């Protein structure tokens, strides 16, 4: 089974214990493919991969690749799909989950990612879109008029939630309760992460499980 990492957000760099796990799990480092979380937000002809915020996390952890590719609307669909097929690691960047979800659909990337043999991870919006379903809630920090449930790539049968203001006080308001009746919801505060490996879930930081409208803080296993 493939290994997946669902990250919240890190203001500086990967914590040391997370970097240690990544060093062990990322065994092939030929190509890192990063998928934008705001794919239409760039006006330059070409993005400098060195300026992508999440790229610095890998550099700081001394996880270096031979090639780096950044996918957004400025890249042709066929090229984006080809880079994903040849990727060692696919990283779905943070940003705006709805815009990224629309981009994945328009470029037909979800199945390419799911069928790839690459190590796959996402941060914030990217991690949200890796999960089976997720809630775009008008009460959850999204600038929307109505709450909507979106389908994600669906590596694992659970929902994932991560936003900068997410904390226990926000969870008890209950906006995620209806979705939790359908499947488990994992909600991660900043500086947190989940690893799913061989069907086993490991936890780093403050992560909460919401199941059948009940909230439980999970113990760290990293």
pLDDT in tens, 6-15: 999 998 899 9
Dist CA 4 CA 152 (whole Å): 14
Q: What percent of the chain has pLDDT over 90?
A: 70
Q: Is 185 exposed, middle or buried (0-12, 13-18, 19+ CB in 10 A)?
A: buried
Q: Is residue 222 part of a domain?
A: no
If one counts every other C-beta atom within 10 angstroms of the C-beta of residue 221, the result is: 11
Residue 25, CA distances (Å) to 11, 63, 198 in order: 23, 11, 12
- Total number of domains constituting the chain: 1
- Whether this prediction's pTM lies above 0.75 is answered by yes
Domain ranges, residue 99 = 4-217
Q: Has residue 163 got a pLDDT over 90?
A: no
Mean pLDDT value of segment 196-213: 93
Q: Has residue 42 got a pLDDT over 80?
A: no
Q: Is residue 94 part of a domain?
A: yes
Question: For position 4, what pLDDT does the model report?
Answer: 93
Residue 93, CA distances (Å) to 85, 146, 213, 216, 218 in order: 18, 25, 29, 27, 25
Q: Has residue 137 got a pLDDT over 80?
A: no
Nearest in space to 101 (alpha carbons), one of 127, 75, 82: 127
Answer whether 154's CB lies under 8 Å from 131's CB: yes
Nearest in space to 2 (alpha carbons), one of 88, 124, 105, 106: 88
* Mean pLDDT (the chain, rounded): 88
Q: Is residue 76 part of a domain?
A: yes
Q: Is residue 115 part of a domain?
A: yes
Q: Is residue 140 part of a domain?
A: yes
Q: Is residue 82 part of a domain?
A: yes
If one counts every other C-beta atom within 10 angstroms of the C-beta of residue 207, the result is: 24
User: With bands split at pLDDT 50, 70 and 90, how would you rate the model's confidence at 170?
Assistant: confident
Mean pLDDT value of segment 133-144: 68
Question: For position 89, what pLDDT does the model report?
Answer: 96
Assigned token pair, 74? 């400025």
Assigned token pair, 3? 């290994």
The domain that contains 54 carries what CATH number?
3.40.50.880
Q: Has residue 44 got a pLDDT over 70?
A: no
Answer whether 23's CB lies under 8 Å from 61's CB: yes
Lowest mean pLDDT among 106-115, 136-145, 202-211: 136-145
Question: For position 118, what pLDDT does the model report?
Answer: 94
């Amino acid at each position: 089974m493939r290994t997946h990492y669902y990250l919240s957000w890190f203001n500086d760099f990967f914590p040391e214990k997370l970097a240690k796990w990544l060093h062990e799990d990322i065994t092939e480092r030929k190509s890192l493919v990063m998928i934008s979380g705001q794919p239409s937000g760039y006006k330059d002809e070409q993005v400098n991969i060195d300026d992508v915020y999440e790229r610095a996390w890998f550099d700081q952890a001394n996880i270096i690749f031979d090639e780096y590719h950044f996918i957004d609307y400025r890249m042709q669909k066929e090229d984006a799909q080809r880079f994903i097929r040849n990727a060692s690691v696919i990283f779905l960047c943070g940003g705006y989950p709805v815009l990224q979800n629309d981009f994945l659909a328009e470029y037909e990337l979800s199945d390419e990612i799911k069928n790839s043999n690459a190590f796959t991870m996402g941060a914030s919006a990217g991690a949200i879109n890796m999960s089976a379903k997720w809630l775009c809630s008008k009460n959850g920090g999204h600038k929307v008029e109505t709450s909507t449930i979106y389908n994600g790539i669906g590596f694992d049968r659970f929902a994932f939630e991560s936003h900068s203001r997410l904390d226990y006080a926000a969870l008890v308001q209950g906006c995620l309760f209806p979705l939790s009746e359908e499947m488990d919801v994992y909600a991660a505060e900043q500086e947190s992460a989940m690893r799913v490996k061989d069907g086993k879930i490991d936890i780093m930081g403050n992560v909460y499980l919401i199941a059948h409208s009940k909230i439980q803080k999970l113990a760290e296993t990293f």
